[in-house]
A and B are shown apart, each in its own frame.
Chain A
Amino acid sequence: MTAPVISLDGVRKTYATGSLSVEALRGIDIRIDPGEYVAIVGPSGSGKSTLMHILGCLDVPTAGTYALAGRDVSDLAETDLARIRNEEIGFVFQQFNLLPDLTALRNVALPLVYAGVAGHDREQRARRALERVGLADRAAHRPGELSGGQQQRVAVARALVTEPSMILADEPTGNLDSVSSADVLALFRELHDAGRTIVLITHEHEVAAQADRIITILDGQVEALDRRSAS
């Protein structure tokens, strides 16, 4: 039996603003195994974003434990979290978040820079990742010279380049038209078929329907864990 990629156990997150304290997550238990394609859905205000931050090691839970790839990351210091993010997580954002002054190739190579990979090796790996998303011929283009869908594929290449334990996509189609959205979702499906673990966070049910499993968050709790059976 392989260890789960993600194992959340009674995770709570409380934000204190002045005298007011808001409980964004109220005890979440989630387990995601390697190779799974999971969508996390929920309306705005459900705690979905907070959950994404904790899953992405951008924040730590107030209570409960979070094990990522078999390692407890519940209360690591900032520097250690940075290393975990670099090694274990490939982020895909709604806003693409590519650096406008860098070429697609250098954008893809960016995580490898922080991983301390040497220049030549880095370029080769970035090139392979761009090939993987079908944009090898756009390596020298800057983000401004690419369409939205292409930019998001560059971002996916960047998420793949470190060979992370999971790809964490936060509303990846939120800024795309329907054609580009379908394009990016097809890419995720392909990556999943190749064995990648993908966690997709979205509020759109059509997008979530692409995943093998849907976890619904409501009022800071997991509402239902359901095997995707429809359609």
Chain B
Amino acid sequence: MNWLETLRTASDAVRAHRLRSRLTMLGIVIGISSVVLTVGLGQGAQNKVRDQIDALGSNLLIVSPGSSTGSGGVRGGFGSASTLTLDDAAAIADEKVAPDVARVAATTSTTTSLTVDTTNWTTRIVGTTPTWQRVRARTLESGRFFTQAEVNSAANVVVLGPDTASELFGRGDPVGRTVTANGTSLTVVGVLAESGASSDDASEDDVAVVPVTTGQRMSGATSNAVSTVYVEATSAGSLSAAYQEVQAALLTAHGVSAADADFSIATQDALLETANSTNRTMTILLGGLAAISLLVGGIGVMNIMLVSVTERIREIGLRKALGATPSAIRRQFLLEASLLGLAGGVIGALIGVAGARVLPSLIDQPVSVSVPAITAALGVALGIGVGFGVYPASRAARLTPIDALRSE
């Protein structure tokens, strides 16, 4: 009896017991669809983080005040500490000190409400220098970026992110208009184009960029403290050299040893790695739960197949009497279990893909479903069918035709 005939026999049996086949498949369907979804969620989250980090610019080092120590404590609070200043940024920008550094942009960041006429909108105010535009790889949709002269004179100018502009001005062109922040009137000189980050991530597009000096004056800051210094290396190859140079320059400027560093330098890769390790933990956790449901589904298949063997004992006896060899019977039942597994897998994958389309609009999380993930899921489903079908199939094969025929 060839495989094609066996396949036909097996699919006949699956179709003959429709309800039972569907219930058997249910466990596999749930398991596979949740595996596809959880893996898709994990991948989606990773892609989102990667997009965000890529959108920061290229060949970037991100210098933050404070530093985490090996023992888990934090030396000088992140962000709040005044250990990083405009002078530090100037030191790094010195070509003699750090030849592999192309550009430096120091930034301060505060959250303030902007007002235009009766409209107001709360956003992030970033104080920085003109280099920011290049370092962060941003282009302008209209107008211009502010100049070094405007930084030097703490001019009341602002460049708005595209989302901020549309919130405050609707469709009109904001260039030349005035917004009020903390009682300071700022003239809009330009509007940024959308960042490359994924469309649902608005934080890079909802921003108001002002000269760092203007920002300090507005927030009433007395020190030169900045919250982040973005450093662009001359090329991807010189990133690690730039890292060493920046570190050395800052240690010298602060007069501390590496062990007492009051700042930390991160690369985009390091940021990505940190974010991904969190995602990975979640994916493994959820994937583990899904795997357990698959296991339960597999046991369900075995259970039903055992019942099926008992129920069809006369059929098995008859087939044997008519010349079916034990291996032909084993093949028939194994194929039947595999069919149930595979059909459950296909349905589960379809539900998973459908869920991946619907879910992002419900929970605001991207879900990316990849072909390898689906192929693997189908393979697992088939494997479960085969794996959990072996025992019932060999029980069927071992039945003697007399005992099988005799049963009523």
| A interface with B by C-beta (< 8 Å) | 53, 56, 58-59, 78-79, 82-83, 85-87, 91, 93, 95, 97, 99, 101-102, 110-111, 113-116, 158, 162
Contacts and interface: CB of A to CB of B under 8 A. Distances in A.
A162 B323 CA distance: 11
B328 A114 contact: yes
Interface stretch (B43-51, B177-185, B314-322, B386-394): B314-322
A32 B54 CA distance: 89
B12 A102 contact: yes
Nearest to B322: A111
A97 B323 contact: no
Given A56-B321, A85-B321, A99-B315, A79 B402 contact: no
B323 A115 contact: yes
B5 interface: yes
B326 interface: yes
Given A101-B16, A116-B1, A116-B2, A110 B322 contact: yes
B322 A58 contact: no
Given A99-B315, A116-B2, A86 B322 contact: yes
A83 B323 contact: yes
Contact of B325 (A78, A87, A102): A78
A33 to B, nearest CB: 24
B287 interface: no
A53 B314 CA distance: 16
Residue from the set B13, B319, B321, B400 with the largest chain A CB neighbour count within 10 Å = B321
A58 B402 contact: yes
Given A101-B12, A102-B12, A113-B1, A93 B405 contact: yes
20 contacts: A56-B321, A58-B400, A58-B405, A78-B325, A78-B326, A82-B325, A85-B320, A85-B322, A86-B322, A87-B323, A97-B314, A99-B318, A101-B12, A101-B16, A102-B12, A113-B9, A114-B323, A116-B2, A158-B322, A162-B323
Residue from the set B13, B16, B323, B402 with the largest chain A CB neighbour count within 10 Å = B323
Contacts of A58: 321, 400-402, 405
Contacts of A97: 314, 318, 321, 405
Contacts of A102: 12
A86 B322 CA distance: 5
Q: Which 4 A-B pairs have CB atoms at the shortest separation, nearest pair first? A: A86-B323, A114-B323, A101-B16, A82-B325
B282 interface: no
B12 A114 contact: no
B80 interface: no
Contact of A91 (B12, B321, B402): B321
A83 B1 CA distance: 11
Nearest to A86: B323
A121 to B, nearest CB: 13
A50 to B, nearest CB: 9
B327 interface: yes
B325 A59 contact: no
A79 B12 contact: no
Contacts of A79: 325-327
B381 to A, nearest CB: 25
Contacts of A113: 1, 5, 9
A101 B311 CA distance: 14
Interface in B313-364: 314-315, 318-328
A66 B326 CA distance: 23
B50 to A, nearest CB: 54
A164 to B, nearest CB: 10
A86 B324 CA distance: 8
A158 B325 CA distance: 18
Contacts of A93: 318, 405
A83 B328 CA distance: 12
A158 B323 CA distance: 12
Given A53-B402, A79-B326, 6 more contacts: A58-B405, A59-B402, A83-B325, A93-B405, A97-B321, A113-B9
Contacts of A83: 323, 325
A59 B9 CA distance: 26
Contacts of B326: 78-79, 82
Contacts of B323: 82-83, 85-87, 111, 114-115, 162
Contacts of B5: 113
